[in-house]
């Protein structure tokens, strides 16, 4: 049972706002340091991006989405209502500053700087995530089998070679695959892929939702207090005990507050005067529990911009990016379109009992998360904006937040992830 608490007169060492994979990882790390922790979320058991992700530990994703030429390509995709990118035109005025900043990230120097910052985080992912998985009993669902990116055409494979070469400079281990090697590794794929890239260090988990449950149960067992409520603002008036304030005006106080509410984090940052460019990059998937095929590892379909992952609960086919804000209803035709692609490239797959899903990825235009102290209130620490890499970078974010909470110098330079980068 979720523990309800009257905390108006109680001050925890840390209040973590947000019960997803990142918030729970921050709480886990803080509890292991001996801190008292209160967690606040509107619905701890409810659906969230942490439940519906593709399950990949994507340590090789060390370059931002805004590659050179992506903006032009993205504009073309917008005219395909079920293509890999969709924009609700009613959301355009809100999204425009984000989109302008996204375009700027394709600049050569900026692209390189972002990539180095992503690699800095991803290089230590297993160092942080394996101890957490061991502690919560999740190692049995960590499958370190690599992943495979596949290409239908020579042209698409050739076009990506510069980025693959750069990724190798960043420490990504990969090798090129012939058409025969692709087919030998994953016989269930349609025999149309002329090239592949095997990603040595990628892994995937068996059930993202189960992982969140295990981590939440462990955080509770370590002594965290759980409070159900929707936090609408931060109150810094009591400098030694700032508060997360809920929509019922409950003040949940802690000596430090960690904001880890994913795509909803911008409003909390703005409540204390911190500006951030953050949008919901809505992702869709369909999970097929009775798929009837053999798939050993996550497969990334390069030209079509979707993935298929063999979870313990079924093959999950997901992808796409939709910018429509936090309130627009899901358009499950996008899940249907992804499923159609899955059936095309995984012939014979059984879609009986298919489960559709949509979730809000918290996306920054530069593909970097926001990790670090608020420049306006040192008692507030941000941990959000991980985009497609929330699961991948969750434990590392938790470890870095724990360093800040304990007054230690973090193991990596956090300047690239500071919210201050959005001041201009």
Provide the pLDDT for residue 182.
Answer: 98
Q: Whose structure tokens read 């063999």? A: 310
Residue 67 pLDDT exceeds 60: no
As annotated, the residues of the chain forming the CATH 3.30.9 domain(s) are 67-104+279-363
CA 15 to CA 252: how far, in whole Å? 8
Max distance between CA atoms of the chain, in angstroms, equals 66
Provide the pLDDT for residue 4.
Answer: 39
CA 364 to CA 62: how far, in whole Å? 15
User: Do residues 66 and 103 lie in contact, with contact meaning Cβ atoms separated by under 8 Å?
Assistant: yes
**Phi, psi angles (nearest 5°) of residue 23:** -60, -40
Tell me what the pLDDT averaged over the chain comes to.
Answer: 92
Architecture of domain 67-104+279-363: 2-Layer Sandwich (3.30)
User: Do residues 253 and 7 lie in contact, with contact meaning Cβ atoms separated by under 8 Å?
Assistant: yes
pLDDT band at 2 (very low <50, low <70, confident <90, very high): very low
Q: How does pLDDT run across 135-189, given as a tens digit for each residue?
A: 999 999 999 999 999 999 999 999 999 999 999 999 999 999 999 999 999 999 9
CA 128 to CA 191: how far, in whole Å? 38
CATH 3.40.50.150 fits 12-50+209-277+367-422, yes or no: no
CA distances (Å), origin 223, targets 39, 218, 219: 11, 9, 7
As annotated, the residues of the chain forming the CATH 3.50.50.60 domain(s) are 12-50+209-277+367-422
Q: Whose structure tokens read 């370059």? A: 63
Radius of gyration of the chain (CA): 21
Q: How does pLDDT run across 233-289, given as a tens digit for each residue?
A: 999 998 889 999 999 999 999 999 999 999 999 999 999 999 999 999 999 999 999
CA 122 to CA 419: how far, in whole Å? 20
Provide the pLDDT for residue 3.
Answer: 37
Element (H, E) at 7: none
């Amino acid at each position: 049972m979720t523990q309800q608490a009257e905390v108006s007169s109680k001050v925890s060492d840390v209040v973590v706002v947000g019960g997803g994979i990142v918030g729970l990882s921050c709480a886990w790390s803080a509890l292991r340091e001996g801190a008292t922790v209160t967690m606040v979320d509107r619905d701890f058991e409810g659906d969230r991006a942490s439940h519906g992700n593709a399950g990949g530990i994507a340590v090789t994703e060390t370059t931002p989405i805004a590659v050179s030429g992506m903006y032009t390509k993205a504009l073309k995709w917008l005219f395909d209502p079920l293509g890999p990118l969709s924009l609700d035109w009613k959301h355009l005025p809100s999204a425009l500053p984000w989109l302008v900043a996204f375009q700027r990230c394709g600049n050569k120097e900026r692209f390189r700087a972002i990539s180095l910052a992503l690699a800095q985080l991803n290089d230590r992912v297993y160092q942080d995530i394996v101890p957490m998985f061991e502690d919560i009993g999740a190692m049995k669902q960590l499958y370190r089998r690599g992943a495979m990116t596949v290409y239908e055409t020579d042209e698409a494979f050739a076009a990506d070679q510069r980025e693959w070469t750069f990724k190798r400079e960043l420490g990504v281990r990969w090798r090129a695959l012939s058409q025969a090697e692709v087919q030998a590794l994953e016989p269930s794929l349609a025999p149309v892929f002329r090239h592949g890239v095997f990603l040595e260090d990628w892994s995937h988990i068996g059930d993202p939702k189960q992982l969140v449950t295990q981590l939440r149960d462990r955080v509770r067992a370590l002594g965290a207090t759980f409070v159900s409520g929707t936090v609408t603002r931060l109150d810094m008036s009591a400098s030694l005990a700032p508060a997360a304030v809920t929509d019922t005006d409950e003040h949940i106080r802690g000596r430090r507050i960690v904001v880890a509410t994913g795509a909803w984090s911008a409003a909390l940052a703005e409540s204390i005067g911190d500006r951030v460019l953050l949008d919901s990059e809505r992702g869709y998937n369909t999970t097929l529990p009775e798929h009837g095929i053999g798939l050993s590892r996550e497969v990334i379909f390069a030209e079509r911009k979707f993935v298929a992952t063999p979870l313990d609960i079924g093959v999950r086919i997901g992808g796409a990016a939709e910018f429509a804000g936090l309130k627009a209803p899901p358009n499950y035709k996008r899940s249907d379109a992804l499923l159609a692609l899955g059936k095309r490239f995984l012939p014979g797959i059984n879609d009986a009992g298919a489960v559709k899903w949509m979730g809000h990825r918290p996306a920054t235009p530069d593909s970097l998360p926001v990790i670090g102290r608020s420049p306006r209130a040192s008692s507030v620490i941000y941990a959000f904006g991980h985009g497609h890499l929330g699961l991948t970078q969750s434990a590392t974010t938790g470890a870095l937040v724990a360093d800040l909470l304990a007054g230690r110098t973090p193991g990596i330079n956090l300047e690239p992830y500071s919210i201050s980068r959005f001041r201009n």
